[in-house]
Structure 1
Amino acid sequence: MLIDRSADTGSPPDQRLQDDYTAAADEYHVPRNVLMGVSYLQSRWDSHPGTPSVVGGFGPMHLVDTHVAPAPEAPHDPARPSAAAAGPPARPDAGTPDKPAAQSADLQRAAILTGLPAAQLRTEDAANVRGGAALLAATQRQLGKPLSANPADWWEAVAKFPGTTDKVSAEIYANDVFDVIRRGAQRTTDAGQHVTLTASPGVRPHAPAAQGGPRPKNVECPPELSCSWLGAPYVRIDDDAYGNHDLADRPKDQRIDYIVIHDTEAPLASMLLTIQDPEEASWHYSVRSSDGHVTQHIRTKDAAWHSGSQFVNARSIGVEHEGFLRHPDAWYTEQMYRSSARLVRYLAKKYQVPMDRQHIFGHDNVPAPTEDSIPDMHDDPGPFWDWRHYFDLLGAPLRATAGPDSDVVMILPDYGKHKPRFTGCAKPGVRCAPHGSSAVRLRSEPSDDAPLIQDPGRRPDGEDSTEDVNDLGSRVSAGQTFAVAGRSGDWTAIWFQGHKAWFRNPKAQPTAVGARGRVVTPKEGVKEISVFGRALPEKDAYPEGVDEQPEAPLPYSLRAGQRYVTQSRVLGSYIDRSSFGDSPAPVVKGQEAYYEIQFDHRLAYVRASDVDVVDPPAAAGPGHPATTAGH
């Protein structure tokens, strides 16, 4: 029987996990900061009670039990090959693109070492932490090393904990653990436990991350990542069609402005079949859930078919993450977040992509190119993707840049504490278990009883927005910035899709912070202007033989007095992808400028000639006087 040591200490109930780390570290003679650092990399100290990860990992130490079924899957998408077609989910052993590496954080072995039932290690945090400490101590002894109080002596044992056979991945993991130890960390877990790892500035990694061996020539990855290549086909299907991506010469012929974050909504094995099918969609990179392994499929100079918008595809890199947005605890792992952030940081630096939420965004933020395409746009990676944590890992933290009464706000809830109601995770209409979220819900008035904001484009049949986890119509997300339209008590209104949209924003637990930002508003005397899902060239820019594309404004408008934040000015462009060829199609480049704006949960574009650009007074700091300029 496991003894609840926290009860003996008199600690508050929300600090019991902190005491569990102390007790387990003392029992197995493992430095507490090493144990806590490993646990942070395994789970960020979260319990995910009763929910195994994609490889059957449990608890704060993510101990893997191969005797249990893998993580749950969402209902199958008939547009994609089935997981069954790809074979059963791969068990860890080799570290290939579709097979994660073997796990040494073995729950059954931990049960033997601790003398506790395996079921207890799966369900009780204290037992799970003891199991992790026992495994670390056993590995240290196997290495012939003492159970030292010096964290630096444990570097090799830490590198072996995740079980990867890839030297680069193992050293990255260990260095990440020691970076957490050096910097310290503090957070409230999914179980409401307050955990603090005090910084140890003197602790350093035992060795630098190894450089990988020879890579396939097509792989474009930072040297510290373990990456592989599985190419997507560029082939003619018939006289009128080809797949599954476009040849280009980026950034020479077209700037790369965006990096789009997706989740697969399918197991990776299935997606690796999809990427090799010329009649399916494509993307540039896949990131595996279990260990963050990266597989590249298309050169970044070429354009993948990943976003639902040819305009965005031509200007972006698509990164898929193995997972289901309705089951984040099973799939959105810390190692996946960290590998993805390393990759995206490398790509952003290489192509000078600004690290903000108007340039690094989700598939759910991609603007629909035309009105009729709005209902078909995707909603991944969803409300449970932790944008705040992700941007911390990118080295571009989302934070307040102006006072709380600024005329511009950044949506920024405390992910762990902010748990809006959602339905549909398990069954349609059934409430999801409370869960931290990046999403903030919007209402038509400053009241919890007010109707949700409606999206006539997403629901042209007039149906109301819902709280379903896949329904984007009435919510915004962490890092997105909006112009303030009003305040009332604990409520803040923003301009959203042509209307005032209200969200609860109490001072005690704010869901938005003050931000600097330039905004656009219709020119004086103009009642309303059109909003577009893409920035096309003017008529005179199209050469002979290339058909002019219709403007196709979206079913929304930007009215006089309304303001929307812009972080980018672009020139219209279009690429005719109608035929198969051995060289890239020419880019039609216009001279008419557009501003990209945060219009609702998705981005949009307005003509620069239709708007004035304003630096709101409340957002202007020292040396940045408020200005208004026509463009």
Structure 2
Amino acid sequence: MPRFLAVVATSASLVLLTPFAGTAPATPATPSDRQQVYDAAAAEFGVPAEVLLGVSYLESQWNTYAGTPSVAAGYGPMHLTDFATANTGQRPEFEDSDGRGDDSRPMLHPAPVPTDVPAAALQTAQQAAQLAGVSAEAVRSDPRQNIRAGAALLASYQKQRSGNAGDWYAAVAKYSGATDSGSAADFADEVFQTIRQGETRTTDDGQQVTLRADAAVAPDTGQLAELHLTPTRSNGAECPRGVSCELDPAAYAQYGPGPDDYGNHDTSNRPASQKIDYIVIHDTEATWDTTLKLIQDPKYVSWNYTIRSQDGHIAQHVLAKDVAWHAANWYINSRSIGVEHEGFLAESGWYTEAMYRASAKLVRWLAAKYQIPLNRQHILGHDNVPAITPTLIPKQHTDPGPYWDWDHYMALLGAPRPLPLPAPPFGMLTIHPDMATNNVPFTGCVKSGVACPDRGASEVVLHSQPSDSSPLLTDIGLHPSGTPQTMDVNDVGSRVSEGQQYAIADRQGGWVAIWYLGQKGWFHAKDAVFAAGVVVAPKPGRASVPIYGRAYPEASAYPAGATPQDIVPMTYVLSAGQRYVFGGVAPSQYLATVWDPTGTVNTKPVNGKTRYYEIQYGHRVEFVNADDVLLLPAF
């Protein structure tokens, strides 16, 4: 390895960051009356203010989300739920594609989506409204009334009034809506941990709220027994301690006479057979109940874990040693773990803090166990996974979408935080918008062409020139006819996401351009920070080099009798003069699979001599043959 690689790039996560010169300073938080609203509601209904603030933080981070419901049909800072008014139509993530992503086998044809009936526990807005003496509509739309109603509901769960915060453990646990003891305890424990540590932040509508730390608070955890909840099943689930987690095995069965007529995952022996390199973040596009029904269909696909929105409860469906069919790319599937989150990206549903925290605990534990770097080259959204062939690019999925808070999530994971990098400017950057104020005018959240609700996003739109009025870039893979990209929430061909890294192509005033899909993509420099690392460029004399959606071995690597898999170049190329950020070495492997009800078949992958590098090429990662390119320091 060249010396500069040893210094800069054991992985692309080793970055040093600083704001671009000329970036406007952060707007200081302004005093607000939201703090007084919490204090007044706490006093009115006899709830300790720190308990009310802690519960609200775990539900919403004190945000209002402009009155739009969460993925669990919750409204406002107190996440009071009303499934009857929330627009959460079912469109399961894989109903129109093959999550297996293996073109050596026929595409799956899932059964129709099962009918879902929301749980009664999700209906709290009406009850809270009655307790507070206001209308349910006010609870959904008015932050003050939402906080009052939440305080009233929390107080109704408390058997005996007490000014001691620790005496409210059972009431807090009940507020979670969980029906099992583990999930309720996890929620309550996180609330009291937040109280002990304290929090302060500016909300999405510009209100500064503070929960002062009180390390002396000692919750009476023994109160949990008073709720008479169902014990949480663990059943051998692979989860860290301190989370509510159960094993709910995915279907593994034959449904036809053919050798490939089985589903919905493959048995294997990871990591002994091959390393797990990625964790892929999804949203379900369906409710929890529907999702658990779908995982039992052998004609459907699978994923390793699902996380419930209302309380962060985790269900594991496929053991880590086996391969779930979740990313629509067999190479990524065979080297990854898929984590689904109850949610609806296109309907602008927001994700609860309880779900973020449970997910971060799980993913942090998995990353440590399997030595997966905590960076956006290895912690991927499904929207960052490449298609396997050019014709399938338009079918590749776009979840978890622009409203997933990647900055907050990576911080919860304990990913490396930015450090200052001195001038002069370096040759790469990290996307880093302020999600609270980054109100991107997406369309199509509810109806095609109609503006989405005004709220913060973790993605930044790219333009063809340093001007907001200039056209977006064109993704020839996503739009083969050459039509320009749109602002539709699912149209990812001219967008970058928090934490992704790109090579700098140009700068002009307050604008910066990156190399993106073979073009210069311009955006406001304030939405990024400088980074140091390694980039990939074509070798001298090469006008362009091919790009691949998977890193498959050369034909000579396959044993006798095995069918070599095609190495299919994508529509895109890496052209001379362009640079793309190096995401790590990608081993050339192909995992052949068979129906194995005994779990005893040795499923070793085919390992090739060809070397590939992962690169950040567009919104999605791609792969290049290492023999075609050079690795260069991004200086």
Question: Aligned-pair RMSD on alpha carbons?
Answer: 2.8
Q: Secondary structure at the match of 2:475?
A: coil
Q: Are 1:243 and 1:278, in contact at CA under 8 Å, matched by a contact in 2?
A: yes
Q: Measure the CA separation in 2 of the matches of 1:268 and 1:136.
A: 24
Match of 1:290 in 2: 310
Q: Measure the CA separation in 1 of the matches of 2:617 and 2:514.
A: 10
Q: Does 1:48 align with 2:58?
A: no
After superposition, residues 333-482 of structure 1 pair within 5 angstroms as 333-396=352-415, 399=418, 402-403=421-422, 405-482=425-502
Q: Does 1:573 align with 2:585?
A: no
Letter in 2 for 1:197: L
Change (3 A) 1:24 1:609: same
Q: Secondary structure at the match of 2:128?
A: helix
Q: Are 1:541 and 1:590, in contact at CA under 8 Å, matched by a contact in 2?
A: yes
Q: Measure the CA separation in 2 of the matches of 1:514 and 1:476.
A: 15
Match of 1:6 in 2: none
Q: 2:240 aligns with which of 219, 222, 237?
A: 222
Q: Measure the CA separation in 2 of the matches of 1:393 and 1:209.
A: 28
Q: Does 1:185 align with 2:194?
A: no
Q: Are 1:43 and 1:62, in contact at CA under 8 Å, matched by a contact in 2?
A: yes
Q: Are 1:51 and 1:71, in contact at CA under 8 Å, matched by a contact in 2?
A: no
Q: Measure the CA separation in 1 of the matches of 2:91 and 2:307.
A: 21
Shift of 1:364: 0.6
Q: Does 1:275 align with 2:289?
A: no
Match of 1:625 in 2: none
Q: Measure the CA separation in 2 of the matches of 1:174 and 1:52.
A: 22
After superposition, residues 128-139 of structure 1 pair within 5 angstroms as 128-139=146-157
Q: 1:172 aligns with which of 162, 186, 190?
A: 186
Match of 2:119 in 1: 90
Match of 1:544 in 2: 560
Q: Does 1:587 align with 2:616?
A: no
Change (3 A) 1:422 1:400: farther
Change (3 A) 1:238 1:398: farther
Shift of 1:208: 11
Q: Are 1:265 and 1:322, in contact at CA under 8 Å, matched by a contact in 2?
A: yes
Shift of 1:602: 0.5
Q: Secondary structure at the match of 1:250?
A: coil
Q: Are 1:179 and 1:205, in contact at CA under 8 Å, matched by a contact in 2?
A: no
Match of 2:32 in 1: 15
Shift of 1:76: 7.4
Shift of 1:414: 1.0
Q: Percent identity?
A: 47
Q: Does 1:72 align with 2:92?
A: no
Match of 2:250 in 1: 232
Letter in 1 for 2:32: Q
Change (3 A) 1:137 1:271: closer
Match of 2:573 in 1: 557
The structure with higher relative contact order (CA 8 Å, sep 6+) is 2
Letter in 1 for 2:562: V
Q: Measure the CA separation in 1 of the matches of 2:593 and 2:553.
A: 16
After superposition, residues 480-495 of structure 1 pair within 5 angstroms as 480-495=500-515
Q: Measure the CA separation in 1 of the matches of 2:552 and 2:337.
A: 20
Shift of 1:88: 2.0
Change (3 A) 1:14 1:238: farther
Q: Measure the CA separation in 1 of the matches of 2:619 and 2:129.
A: 46
Q: Measure the CA separation in 1 of the matches of 2:501 and 2:222.
A: 38
Q: Measure the CA separation in 2 of the matches of 1:217 and 1:272.
A: 16
Gap runs ≥5 in structure 2: 1-28, 97-109
Gap runs ≥5 in structure 1: 1-11, 93-101, 618-631
Q: Measure the CA separation in 2 of the matches of 1:206 and 1:490.
A: 54
Moved more, 347-356 or 577-586: 577-586
Q: 1:513 aligns with which of 512, 515, 529?
A: 529
Shift of 1:130: 1.9
- 1:133-152 deviation line (CA, Å, top 9, x unaligned): 33344444x1x35223xx44
Q: Measure the CA separation in 1 of the matches of 2:524 and 2:621.
A: 23
Q: Are 2:65 and 2:455, in contact at CA under 8 Å, matched by a contact in 1?
A: no
Change (3 A) 1:198 1:409: farther
Change (3 A) 1:584 1:291: farther
Match of 2:134 in 1: 116
Q: Measure the CA separation in 2 of the matches of 1:350 and 1:214.
A: 24
Match of 1:32 in 2: 49
Change (3 A) 1:517 1:137: same
Give me the TM-score of the superposition, normalised by structure 1.
Answer: 0.86
Shift of 1:55: 5.0
Q: Measure the CA separation in 2 of the matches of 1:133 and 1:461.
A: 55
Change (3 A) 1:47 1:412: same
Q: Are 1:400 and 1:410, in contact at CA under 8 Å, matched by a contact in 2?
A: no
Change (3 A) 1:401 1:156: farther
Moved more, 229-238 or 463-472: 229-238
Q: Secondary structure at the match of 2:563?
A: coil
Q: Measure the CA separation in 1 of the matches of 2:544 and 2:235.
A: 52
Q: Are 2:282 and 2:341, in contact at CA under 8 Å, matched by a contact in 1?
A: yes
- 1:194-239 deviation line (CA, Å, top 9, x unaligned): 3333444555665599999785544211222222222223333322
Q: Secondary structure at the match of 2:309?
A: coil
Q: Measure the CA separation in 2 of the matches of 1:120 and 1:449.
A: 38
Shift of 1:596: 0.8
Q: Measure the CA separation in 2 of the matches of 1:514 and 1:612.
A: 22
Q: Are 1:401 and 1:516, in contact at CA under 8 Å, matched by a contact in 2?
A: no
Change (3 A) 1:584 1:122: same
Q: Measure the CA separation in 2 of the matches of 1:194 and 1:251.
A: 46
Shift of 1:172: 1.8
Q: 1:126 aligns with which of 140, 144, 156?
A: 144
Change (3 A) 1:522 1:201: farther
Q: Measure the CA separation in 2 of the matches of 1:27 and 1:116.
A: 14
Shift of 1:108: 4.1
Match of 1:95 in 2: none
Q: Secondary structure at the match of 1:613?
A: strand
Change (3 A) 1:65 1:431: closer
Change (3 A) 1:524 1:513: same
After superposition, residues 311-322 of structure 1 pair within 5 angstroms as 311-322=331-342
Q: Are 2:234 and 2:245, in contact at CA under 8 Å, matched by a contact in 1?
A: no
Count of residue pairs brought into register by the alignment: 584
Q: Measure the CA separation in 2 of the matches of 1:201 and 1:337.
A: 23
Give me the TM-score of the superposition, normalised by structure 2.
Answer: 0.85
Match of 2:99 in 1: none
- 1:296-327 deviation line (CA, Å, top 9, x unaligned): 11111111111111111110111111211012
Moved more, 593-602 or 539-548: 539-548
Q: Measure the CA separation in 1 of the matches of 2:337 and 2:465.
A: 38
